Structure 1
Amino acid sequence: MVSIESIVLEVPDPSAADAFYTGALDLGDRVRVRGSEAPTSGFRGFTLSLVVAQPSAVDHLVASALDAGATEVKPVRKSLWGYGGVVQAPDGTICTLAASSKKDTGSAERKVDDVVLQLGVEDVKASKQFYVDHGLTVAKSFGRKYVEFDMTGAPATLTLLGRTALAKTAGVSPEGTGSHRITIRSEAGPFTDPDGFTWESV
């Protein structure tokens, strides 16, 4: 089964970014960084969704991120689907932090259970077929709105949403130009998808 080996964020200051993702967000080697000055502005077309067990974990991680220089995009709150908020990392990456539970069921932990890389694409159906043709297996699919690929055992899961819908969920404008500032490492690479997201070989 084809899966993601790691997510590489391209940042102006790798040392600072590494401290943020490993220290403030406890992501270990699931998210890596490397230097880049590629021009970029506005929404980069993706978000990192960090899924945790309960609301207190969301609160701890958001507070840790803000203390480390992140900017609040959406304050944490309860919603129909659970509890969560959105921050923008110092390098510009949009991170959502969420728990499906609305109440704590145990002691507070800062542990991130799942990392979901959400790509905002122009045509969900076409991008889904592109990835299937490159060896990925669909786990869930809802027409032209949402696709989740089977990444069992991988350090991150991949999903596809419409770019405008993803930006709305994140609380930002969908407008953006330049580099995505992200590379996905996988045995499926190397290739570039229809929306310009780059994959490279492990």
Structure 2
Amino acid sequence: MATTASTTTLASVTIEVPIPEAAHRFYTAFGVDTHVRLRASEAHSTGFRSFTLALTVSRPATVDGFLGAAVDAGATVLKPAAKSLWGYGGVVAAPDGTIWKVATSAKKDTGPATREIDEIVLLLGVEDVKASKQFYVGRGLAVARSFGGKYAEFVSGGASPVKLALYKRRGLARDLGVAADGTGSHRIGLGSTAGSFTDPDGFAWEAAPSLTPAPSTASAPS
């Protein structure tokens, strides 16, 4: 299924953290500080927060570079980088608990490591992919790719550098190497170009103040 027009887009992604200054230092060292916003929050959560942010890069050496930078800055390895049928990748958890996956479809290096990110995907773990997809279509998002009840990806647009996708919650947890159990806040804010709403899995969308992306420092207290 695919459509060509969209009235709603993912305008921003905000990660809620206890100490924005510390989180900003981590995300700067990791190399993704210009792609996400940070906001102070003491919202309680336990276990898997039902989402991950995935970086797609060009080659294995670049995967290793990003994962190494994350670990050096304080991240915890959830799945060491390794080859698989689809390519090469690994998973880490940031000090604030946000899970990041870094992967490439390439299995061999064709050049040196870079700091370039080809694509960032926000994967929401949902109970029913088909139902959640229809909910988002009803909110004005356009489907770019859909694979039955397993996965759905929406057309990116606006100023956010992050693409939105849906994946079965338990399958996503299994892919990340974590238990599927989790309660409390997702600790992520999604900026919408079409006002505020909450999806069937409790992900809260906020009205984005503008489509101009802001570096994460803008949301950290001075």
- With the shorter chain as reference, the TM-score category is over 0.9
Partner SS, residue 140 of structure 1: strand
Give CA deviations for 1:166-195 in whole Å, capped at 9, x if unaligned.
000011000000000001112033111111
What aligned pairs does 1:71-82 form with structure 2 within 5 A after superposition?
71-82=76-87
Give the corresponding residue for 1:135. Answer: 140
Contact 2:30 2:73 in 1 (8 A): no
- Structure 1 pair 152–102 and aligned structure 2 pair: CA distance change class (3 A): farther
- Count of paired positions: 201
- For residues 8-87 of structure 1, the aligned pairs below 5 Å read 8-21=14-27, 23-87=28-92
Shift of 1:152: 5.0
Amino acid corresponding to residue 193 of structure 1 in structure 2: D
State the match for 2:216 in structure 1: none
Which residue among 186, 195, 198 is the counterpart of 1:180? Answer: 186
| Structure 1: distance between partners of 2:26 and 2:12 | 17
1:159 Cα deviation (Å)? 0.7
Deviations along 1:152-174, one digit per CA (max 9) or x if unpaired, are 57401111011100000011000
- How far is 1:69 from its partner? 0.4
1:46 corresponds to which letter in structure 2?
Answer: F
The aligned amino acid for 2:141 is L
SS of the equivalent of 1:73 reads strand
- CA distance in 1: counterparts of 2:42 and 2:33, whole angstroms: 24
| 1:86-165 mapped onto 2 (5 Å cutoff) | 86-152=91-157, 154-165=160-171
Structure 1: stretches of 5+ with no match in the other structure: none
**Alpha-carbon deviations, 1:122-160, whole Å to 9, x = none?**
111110011000000001111111101111574011110
Superposed displacement of residue 106, structure 1: 2.0
Q: Which residue is equivalent to 2:174? A: 168
Letter in 1 for 2:195: G
TM-score, normalised on structure 2? 0.87
Percent identical among aligned pairs is: 58
Tell me if the contact between 2:62 and 2:113 (Cα under 8 Å) persists in the aligned partners.
yes
Q: Which runs of 5+ in 2 are unaligned?
A: 1-5, 209-222
Mapped contact 1:7–1:31 kept (Cα < 8 A): yes
Counterpart selection for 1:201 from 201, 207, 214: 207
Distance 1:152 1:185 in 2: 12
Return the alpha-carbon distance in structure 1 between the equivalents of residues 87 and 29 of structure 2: 22
Q: For residue 22 of structure 2, what is the amino acid of its counterpart?
A: A
Which has the larger share of strand?
Answer: 1
How large is the RMSD of aligned CA atoms in angstroms? 1.2
Q: 2:13 aligns with which of 7, 10, 22?
A: 7
